Structure 1
Amino acid sequence: MKSIKQNSPQAVVAIALITAACLTGDSMLYIALPTHWEQAGLDSLWEVGILLSINRFIRLPLTPAIGWAYARIGVRTGVVAAVILTGLLTVGYGLADGFAGWLLLRCLWGVSWTLLRMGAYLMILDCTDEACSGAVFGRYNGLFRLGSLVGMLTGGFIADLWGMPAAAFGFGGIALATLPLVLRYAPTVCVAPKETEPLLQRLRQVNTPAIVRALGSGLLIAAAYQGVVASSLSHLIRSNWGTAVALGFGAVGAASLSGGLQALRWAWEPWLAPWFGRLSDGPRGRRKILGALLVVAAVLLGAVSLQLPLGLWLAAVLGMQVTATALTTIGDAAAADAAQSRARTTVMTLYVMATDIGAALGPFLGYLLAELRGAASMYQAAALWLFALGLWWLSDGFRRRSSVA
């Protein structure tokens, strides 16, 4: 079994912390902007909705261009540019006044995040191989989501006390402060391999069952968790229990309960994500574990859609969040496995695009379905597509075992 390459543990931790620092400002906006939109110079809440989603749609057409650029400028240049741009944009959140300025900043954040995410994936791919990619991606996913936790928990608090500009300036400074980490660790990994074949030839190279399955998994897992769950859990709580939920210590608002339940995931990921990654690297193999977890996730999503006794429902939500940690980590590792022997930059570019499409389509299709059949139908639909995806992975595992036998 091949081990993680020399110096790669430090490089993976470094790029994870860089990503976390750059994510704090964006995560802060999801808490602070809906309540401080007038201070930001906006005229209505619908403008807030556009600003919080436009970066995802911007990323879709940009991802192929950034993948192409990485094959020419190298990982170090791309990550340095992303960190500088992120720091300046986050500071800009404290200076923007009016919808047009905010719209420009959020579109540029889409560029910056794609640069950073692609650079991180390419760094990690150079640090590992199929034997240990689960553990490495688990370490990366667990650490970088600390940025979401810090941004969400402290961003609203700082904005309430000293205003949103104070939070923006602070998080912008934190992002820029990671530049020494980039300069220290980015040179230890290779630049993205330049792929000289024509585009159609590269697409034919990646048209294999393993790569198609990995891309489909990235899209559907992102649609379920980044799309449906992240955007609608508070809506589901409000639909089933009203604007306030009675817990043992008192009533909690639907938005506060949803935020707390989702923040728990970012709190446990530094420990759980690497564990799931190592588990998938083990003798049982990634395919069986991924397939089984997808089926379990489908059952839990179906349970969350029901109006169960509150204690049982909360347990189902926590279980669902655990499967989100596991599936995101193992799905990333499966994509890395598929990219090891093929056009690496092309595969990871397509994977980033697939997850972005899933994250963007999840809320749109979910809320469209909710209008027709109610909030619970969003989770039931996500359960169905994850169940089907799980059967796809399990059937592949059974076929491989039969062929070996």
Structure 2
Amino acid sequence: MEKHSLFAVILIALAIAFSLFGDQALYAVLPTSFEKLGLLPIHVGILLSANRWIRLLTNIFAHKLFHRLPSVVLLYMALGLGTLVTFSYGIFTSFFMLFTARLLWGFCWSLLRHVGVMTASSVSTKENTGRVMGVYSGVVRLGFIGGSFLGALLYDASGFSRAFLILAGFSLSGIPLASFSGIRGIGGSSSAIPRPADNSTSTMGFMSENIHNSGSASDPGRFVPLLICTLAVGFTGSGLVMSTLGFVLKNRFGETVTVFHLMVGIASINGLILSLRHIIGTLGSPLLGHISDILGHGKVVFLCFLLAALSVAMMAAPMHILLFSALILFFYICTNTIAIILEARAGKTGSRMYSFFASALDLGAATGPLVGWIILDISPFTGLPFIIGALLLTAGSFFSVRIFKQQSQGADAA
């Protein structure tokens, strides 16, 4: 793989990261400022999940657009519309306008994620797929980190409206970054950037062989294990654990905790843990992807599913907050590794399969919070959501074996 190709992937990922600033800032700011905006608590829940539910439709639409329009057009359109969405957060405060903006952002993210992953996949080879996808995923995660931290700081310093107007400027800067990458699109889903000369081993070569097969009637059954594993990771990691973590911390440890003789608010602990989740993903994704290339994707996914299930099950028991925090971070290292490999697997199979992968991930992330909070509402045991998550991840480990068993059989047949 040429260094230019990897650099182009990094620039595109960075542009997407800047576009994420407004979305992630909303998650950090809205729960503490909704009353000042004249919103109700139920409005907050709807606004923070609407973008995920709409993606169940727009992910398929993104796949269709990917085959009808040049990838460069889709990328610039999504970056521009994403900037307008972030700008709208700063000038509109009514629920209806914010709800509309959240739906538009869901569409933007479907396009950005689809084009970004397919671009990264198109320049990778069988030998470095994990590394390339790890680099891409790690850079995109800068948007999750920067949006949460910078959004909260700007809100405290200048208020809700001005904070999002400033963040819209960051989002806008993603457009020139994307232009510097050299991305181009010819005839719909054509390659975005120059790819390796050895097409026999490139991911794009693999995609071109399978992209039409991925729409065959037999494929839904063939790829069900991958979609189930994806659903399990999205439901547990981005949904169940992430959404209930703050409540569990407060319920177990109170409003404040003492860490190394320092009194720290539980909200700060929660924010720190969630931020570290993305920091670990950013710094560790390339390494984790590279390790999976060496050890074998199937073995790594199976092991990470079991370790993630074990760690989240242990979190159901009472323990010191430092041990609890360490288990959460270890859990996210495992689920991040799984997500990288499954995303690469879906991308290598083709655009249509990736749209199904993205929808399964979004479905899990959208339903996880609802299930988690229903459980906490009807059960006094705060560890019950973690036990359910552990059971789901354990089931995912068995389905992961089928994914890579099918891959091995396909390679033998070839």
TM-score w.r.t. length of structure 2: 0.87
8 A contact 2:229–2:400 mirrored in 1: no
Aligned residue number for residue 273 of structure 1: 285
SS at match of 2:113: helix
User: In the alignment, which residue of structure 1 is the partner of 2:343?
Assistant: 332
Distance 1:6 1:257, change over 3 A: closer
- Tell me the CA shift for residue 205 of structure 1: 5.1
Per-residue deviation, residues 176-222 of structure 1 (Å, max 9, x unmatched): 11212222325356642699x9x99814253364x332222221111
Q: Which residue of 1 aligns with 2:392?
A: 385
Pair 205,120 (structure 1): closer, same or farther in 2 beyond 3 Å: farther
Distance 2:247 2:165 in 1: 31
Q: Distance in 1 between matches of 2:66 and 2:45?
A: 31
Cα RMSD of the aligned pairs, angstroms, is 2.6
Residue 370 of structure 2 corresponds to: 364
SS in 2 for 1:245: strand
Match of 2:217 among 204, 211, 225: 204
Provide, for residues 38-71 of structure 1, a one-character-per-residue CA deviation record: whole Å limited to 9, x for no partner. Answer: 44x3232221221111111111122212211111
Name the amino acid aligned to 1:34.
P
Q: Unmatched 5+ residue regions in structure 1?
A: none
Is residue 2:62 matched to residue 1:66? yes
| Pair 1:88-2:84 in alignment | yes
Partners of 2:253 and 2:299 in 1: CA distance: 37
Q: Is the 8 A contact 2:346 2:354 kept in 1?
A: yes
Q: Tell whether the 8 Å contact from 1:130 to 1:336 is kept in structure 2 after alignment.
A: no
Trace 1:232-381 onto structure 2 (pairs within 5 A): 232-282=244-294, 284-337=295-348, 339=349, 344-373=350-379, 374-381=381-388
Q: Provide closer, same or farther for how the CA distance between residues 274 and 166 of structure 1 changes in structure 2, counting only shifts above 3 A.
A: same
| Alignment match, 1:23 | 20
Partner of 2:6: 9
Residues 305 and 393 in structure 2, CA contact (< 8 A), matched pair in contact too: yes
Cα distance in 1 for residues equivalent to 2:344 and 2:317? 32
Per the alignment, do residues 151 and 8 of structure 1 end up closer, same or farther by CA in structure 2, a change over 3 Å counting? same
> Could you report, residue by residue, the CA deviation over 1:291-327 in whole angstroms, capped at 9, with x for unpaired residues?
0111011000011121113332222122112223322
Could you say what secondary structure the match of 1:204 adopts? coil
Asked if the contact 1:127–1:189 (Cα under 8 Å) also holds between the matched residues in 2, the reply is: no
Q: How many residues align?
A: 391
Q: In the aligned structure 1, how far is the partner of 2:323 from the partner of 2:71?
A: 46
Which amino acid is 1:390 matched to?
A: S
TM-score by length of 1: 0.89
Report the alpha carbon displacement of residue 114 of structure 1 after superposing the two structures with TM.
1.0
Residue range with higher mean Cα deviation, 200-209 or 249-258: 200-209
Change (3 A) 1:200 1:321: closer
Task: Tell whether 2:134 aligns with 1:118.
Answer: no
Q: 2:200 is matched with which residue?
A: none
Q: Which runs of 5+ in 2 are unaligned?
A: 192-207
Shift in alpha-carbon separation, 1:163–1:202, aligned structure 2, 3 A: same
Percent of counterpart pairs with the same letter? 26
Confirm or deny that 1:176 pairs with 2:172.
yes
Partner of 1:157: 153
The superposition leaves residues 4-60 of structure 1 with CA deviations (integer Å, 9 ceiling, x where unpaired) of 356320121012101110011111111112222244x32322212211111111111
* Distance in structure 2 (CA, Å) of the matches to 1:28 and 1:105: 14
Contact 2:305 2:396 (C-alpha < 8 Å) held by counterparts? yes
SS state of the match for residue 73, structure 1? coil
- Distance in 2 separating the partners of 1:43 and 1:385: 35
